[in-house]
Amino acid sequence: MKLENYVLGSWKQGNEQGTELFDASFGKSLGFASTAGINFGEILNYARTVGGPNLRKQTFHDRARALKQLALYLLERKEKYYQISYQTGATKIDSWIDIEGGIGNLFTYSSKGRREMPDSNVYSDGAPEMLSKGGTFTGQHIFVPKRGVAVHINAFNFPVWGMLEKIAVNLVAGMPCVVKPATVTSYLTEAVVKDIIESKLLPEGALQLLCGSASGILDHVTSQDVVTFTGSAWTGQKLKSHPRITEQSVPFNMEADSLNCCILGEDVKPDSDDFNVFIKEVAKEMTIKAGQKCTAIRRTIVPENMIEPVQKALIARLQKVAIGSPTAEGVRMGPLAGMSQKKEVLEKIEELKQSCELLYHNEDFQLLDGDREKGAFISPTLLLAKDPMNNSAAHSVEAFGPVSTLIPYKGADQAIELSHMGEGSLVGSIVSSDKKWASEVAVGMASHHGRIVILNESCAKESTGHGSPLPNLVHGGPGRAGGGEEMGGMRGIKHYMQRTAIQGHPTFITDLTQVYQPGGERPEADKHPFRHYFEELEVGMTLTTHKRTVTEADVVNFANLSWDHFYAHTDTTSLEGTIFDERVAHGYFVISAAAGLFVDPGKGPVLANYGLDELRFIKPVYVGATLGVKLTCKEKIPQDPREGEVPRGVVRWQVDVSDETGETVALATILTLVAKKTT
């Protein structure tokens, strides 16, 4: 079998034999991977000239909907991915993280694209900035898709998740990509991409795949491209310093393997619930994926008086780990991805043994199916760094397998310092029920970690665990971890877009962003805005209401109705020394009165009040004030139709309440559900 590359709109094999691939458990040849004869410059240009324009024809919502459809499509075919995944050495649990965890990223970013982004190709970032006294000149930051291609260079340990967590983000942003999986497990990535292409859910040129060497691809990147890398820090630094990257100022996101730590709190005693949580978490992170995780716990930091009980409990648990082919019943840990990985891990263990005591490593472990000689099996390994403040190897040598080093500490300050000695990590965790201690250590660790997990028995059952990056949160870390960020919700999408400051008259920026900007033109509606269907409404459309004078009876009645008897509303004898000159109307009365002015009571396209945002009471309203409202269509957000529901969208309205002087006394954004026209 020879793997295929998907480039320039078709599947193509390399014109040389290439790299031979093997089953991780039995050493059986699975085929070859090669990119020989493929012109990397052509495929990048194809992405820019075909994939990019095709994606930018779609809105954020279009692309997000395609992700959801793709996720459902892949879930229907997941079982065949599991069968292939077992050949990489991944167990059922390992494969679930890789396959269904990867597909979960598509669902998450589909939701974010539809719920947190507009149905357009321009994303407004933050509030507008008023740049002139008269309000005729303003500024707004926007994000638009970059005009290049995302080049994803992925690691061998998660051939599905590693691809899907990256492409979910760049596709929502509107940027095409070229995926380069690590060759050793690229056969699983190829299987998933074949189904993605077959689905026809992505526009042509949005996704290309290289199975084999991509040496030289960075020679062709430009300033509009984005390069992402996951793998070893050494390789990442080499790629990051490529002349083309520096000359063209190409954004380069690096997520590198790091010496992540887990710290046991000083409050935790042997045989306690928290102690059991700690032992289970460390052992799990050592053995899931046979320790081949960039987030695995490499340094197990415990109070010095707890070394012995932790050592005994961990070894007892590691001894029970059943090792063998992932297809064999009862196996809990499979092999490493290949013999080269096994050789490297064993070499790193030997290096650690020069300064650390070997506590557990069983060369004679029982093998449940698989080839002991040709398979890349290895025993879980636990070491001890007795003098951790002076043992540099414990904080710098990473064995990318089921290996962790016990490290004793004295007090919170030293625990924090030891966590820093890894020189930057993707994740650190703390197991403690002492809120003050855990808070102190978490804040102390934060400067050197991309993510921190505080675990104890109160959240352990529902926790996603130390080693699980989530699409909603940042995945990355400083220093040795690469200094980059992946995912992180909207932060990840923005990585593939250009942030630009737009300046001009608010009316023009309103038209550009389709979000009403204060000071922009507000054309009066030809009829009450609540009489318009969703499609008929235009951003900026405004209703100017009739007026209402506030009476003392209004204030007294609202106090009795709401039970809000705050002194400023009800006791005029208590106003001396306050900010109020006389009895003041309730802020919530003002906004309720405003609703009475702008709401159209008859049945129409407005289905319901959906909520209230950004409410501010700007100026006191006293008895005798005369209030009026300008109701302006601020933004329209379409919703995907659901079976049995009226087709609709959300409309955000600016409610500007002013008094008889023309000054704004209250400002709010209300949301309504508005029906779409039925066809």
**Dist CA 157 CA 289 (whole Å):** 8
Q: Name the one residue in this structure whose structure tokens are 């060369």.
A: 363
Residue 255 known to be catalytic: yes
DSSP-derived letter for residue 549 is E
Is-contact 645 586, C-beta < 8 A? no
5 to 17, 136, 148, 209, 347: CA distances (angstroms): 13, 54, 21, 5, 34
- Which among 190, 255, 266, 281 is annotated as catalytic? 255
- Which among 261, 262, 294, 356 is annotated as catalytic? 294
Kindly give the pairing relationship between strand 484-487 and strand 138-145.
Answer: unpaired
271 to 51, 276, 309, 315, 359: CA distances (angstroms): 57, 7, 9, 15, 21
Q: How many C-beta neighbours within 10 Å does residue 653 have? A: 23
Q: What are phi and psi of 348, to 5 degrees?
A: -70, -35
Residue 643 known to be catalytic: no
Kindly give the pairing relationship between strand 297-303 and strand 403-409.
Answer: parallel
197 to 73, 204, 373, 470: CA distances (angstroms): 11, 9, 38, 26
Q: How many C-beta neighbours within 10 Å does residue 29 have? A: 11
DSSP H or E segment with residue 45: helix 40-46
Q: How many C-beta neighbours within 10 Å does residue 138 have? A: 23
Look up residue 541 and give its two tokens. Answer: 């459309």
**Dist CA 191 CA 181 (whole Å):** 12
Is-contact 457 279, C-beta < 8 A? no
Is-contact 317 282, C-beta < 8 A? no
Q: What share of the chain is helix, strand, coil (3-state, %, to 5)?
A: 35, 25, 40
Catalytic positions, please? 255, 294
